[in-house]
Amino acid sequence: MTTTIDFSEMQAFVAVVTDGSFTAATERLETDKAGVSRTVW
């Protein structure tokens, strides 16, 4: 089974890991927490 990931999904994942929280990642990405959470999940 192969799963693909697009650039925006990877960007959200990296932001959460790098920034250490969903809240900080949403501020960096200028988006809402629910959207980042859905993308990373």
Band of pLDDT at residue 39, cut at 50, 70 and 90: confident
Q: Is 13 exposed, middle or buried (0-12, 13-18, 19+ CB in 10 A)?
A: middle
Q: What is the DSSP letter of 21?
A: S
Q: What is the pLDDT of residue 13?
A: 94
User: Residue ranges of the domains in the chain?
Assistant: 7-40
pLDDT digits (tens, 9 = 90+) for 6-28: 999 999 999 999 999 999 999 99
Q: pTM of the entire structure?
A: 0.80
Q: Which long-range contacts (CB under 8 A, 24 or more apart) does 35-38 make?
A: 36/12
* Distance separating alpha carbons of residues 36 and 29, to the nearest angstrom: 9
Q: Would you say the C-alpha torsion 27, 31, 40, 38 has a positive or negative sign? A: positive
